[in-house]
């Protein structure tokens, strides 16, 4: 599964794997793909340094990258306390009542929630980059559009390629004009924040809009056949995220959540604002249903919603409250039916890719159906 882009980066397969888990990122690179570590949860620079040190020691010299969450425009002088003060009391009461309805215990005294809004603030992302640029990363990806111009320039000075996610051809053109090197066309089927356009339509639209920039197809991809289809649509590789959540190397810290992922079908996700305030595909749960119900208070805009629910999500995860327990995941969850190693996933992807290409070649040559 080689393309011009994979050859440029020195990887065997044009499979870019996004993951919050260092062990998964390293295993993806060792398997011949390109592991990309998600940095949003690293609010302390020393924690990111520790895990990048670990990746360096376990990646066998193969290339890898980092994904940050950084807005293109900066809002000066706004602190987390300022944002928190904007949250209406009625929404806080709704959270308390919903958690009480399901008997969700409080966090132990002194234990903070695991995810806070600080991971989405520009100064945190910049501190992450201060750490990351001391390592031989080959790619910097941004999940909130094009990063600021000075960050793009800083990456290019270090021969680091810059990628940005796009949900439409219009977004992709903005990335191209901002000097981005790679556009990730993320379709409606993807886990996490997504737009309105499905991958089969979006990928060729973005390829045509930004040519000759390389495009990675993302959203609903989890088989070799789908990778072959993405390359046929003009992509130079694929960007996979959800598929790694049920690998043996992943560290979800929740057997209950793993069981839910393995049991879920492709129709068991929902595009909801319940987690961050922006539409994000995730497992459908009683928690998402409560926020999306007509008689509920409605979600708040980003970043207020994320700050509002941070403690609640941590409590639900810690105590594995099954009806409320969920995670961002794409529609490909319907294919995630067993725990497998990253290497086994790659073996399946490459085998399926070869079979798909062989079948198309037979059809094109008129030798079979």
Nearest to 91 by CA among 325, 300, 311, 310: 300
Q: State the DSSP H helix or E strand holding residue 36, giving kind and residue range, or none if neither.
A: strand 34-38
Give the per-residue pLDDT at 57: 97
Is the model's pLDDT at 115 over the cut of 60?
A: no
Give the per-residue pLDDT at 352: 98
Give the per-residue pLDDT at 83: 75
Number of neighbours of residue 357 by Cβ within 10 angstroms: 17
**Strand 15-19 relative to strand 34-38: parallel, antiparallel, unpaired?**
parallel
| pLDDT tens sequence across 203-236 | 999 999 999 999 999 999 999 999 999 999 999 9
At 109, the pLDDT band (50, 70, 90 cuts) reads confident
DSSP string across 207-273: HHHHTTS-EEEESS--SHHHHHHHHHTT-SEEEE-GGGGGBTT---S-HHHHHHHHH--TTSEEEES
**Strand 269-272 relative to strand 280-283: parallel, antiparallel, unpaired?**
antiparallel
Give the per-residue pLDDT at 113: 63
Give the per-residue pLDDT at 144: 77
Q: CA–CA separation, 285 vs 3, rounded Å? A: 39
At 82, the pLDDT band (50, 70, 90 cuts) reads confident
Nearest to 284 by CA among 297, 302, 265, 298: 265
| pLDDT tens sequence across 5-49 | 999 999 999 999 999 999 999 999 999 999 999 998 888 899 999
Residue 26, SS3 per DSSP:
helix
Give the per-residue pLDDT at 71: 65
| pLDDT tens sequence across 302-359 | 878 988 998 999 999 999 999 999 999 999 999 999 999 999 999 999 999 999 999 9
Q: CA–CA separation, 42 vs 38, rounded Å? A: 9
Is the model's pLDDT at 70 over the cut of 90?
A: no
Give the per-residue pLDDT at 120: 58
Tokens of 167: 């949900």
| pTM for the model | 0.93
Residue with tokens 């793909």: 33
């Amino acid at each position: 599964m080689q393309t011009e882009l994979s050859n440029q980066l020195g990887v065997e397969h044009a499979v870019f794997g996004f993951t919050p888990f260092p062990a998964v990122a390293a295993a993806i690179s060792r398997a011949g793909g390109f592991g990309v570590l998600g940095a949003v949860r690293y609010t302390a620079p020393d924690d990111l340094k520790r895990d990048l040190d670990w990746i360096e020691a376990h990646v066998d010299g193969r290339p890898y990258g980092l994904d940050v969450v950084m807005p293109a425009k900066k809002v000066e002088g706004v602190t987390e306390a300022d944002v928190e003060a904007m949250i209406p009391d009625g929404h806080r009461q709704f959270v308390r009542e919903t958690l009480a309805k399901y008997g969700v215990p409080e966090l132990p005294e002194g234990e903070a929630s695991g995810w806070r809004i600080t991971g989405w603030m520009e100064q945190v992302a910049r501190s992450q980059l201060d750490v990351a640029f001391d390592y031989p990363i080959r790619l910097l990806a941004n999940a909130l559009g094009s990063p600021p111009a000075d960050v793009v320039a800083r990456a290019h000075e270090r021969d680091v390629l810059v990628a940005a996610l796009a949900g439409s051809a219009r977004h992709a053109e903005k990335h191209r004009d901002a000097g981005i090197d790679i556009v990730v066309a993320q379709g409606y089927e993807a886990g996490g924040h997504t737009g309105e356009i499905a991958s089969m339509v979006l990928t060729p639209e973005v390829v045509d809009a930004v040519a000759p920039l390389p495009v990675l197809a993302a959203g609903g991809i989890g088989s070799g056949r789908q990778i072959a289809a993405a390359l046929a649509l003009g992509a130079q590789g694929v960007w996979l995220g959800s598929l790694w959540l049920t690998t043996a190397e992943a560290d979800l810290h929740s057997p209950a959540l793993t069981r839910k992922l393995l049991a879920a079908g492709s129709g068991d996700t929902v595009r909801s604002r319940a987690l961050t305030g922006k539409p994000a595909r995730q497992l459908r749960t009683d928690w998402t249903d409560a926020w999306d119900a007509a008689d509920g208070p409605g979600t708040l805009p980003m970043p207020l919603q994320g700050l509002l629910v941070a403690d609640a999500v941590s409590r639900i995860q810690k105590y594995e409250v099954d009806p409320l327990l969920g995670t961002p995941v794409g529609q490909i969850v319907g294919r995630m039916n067993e725990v497998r190693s990253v290497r086994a996933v790659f073996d399946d992807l490459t085998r399926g890719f070869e079979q798909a290409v062989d079948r198309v070649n037979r059809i094109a040559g008129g030798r079979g159906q």
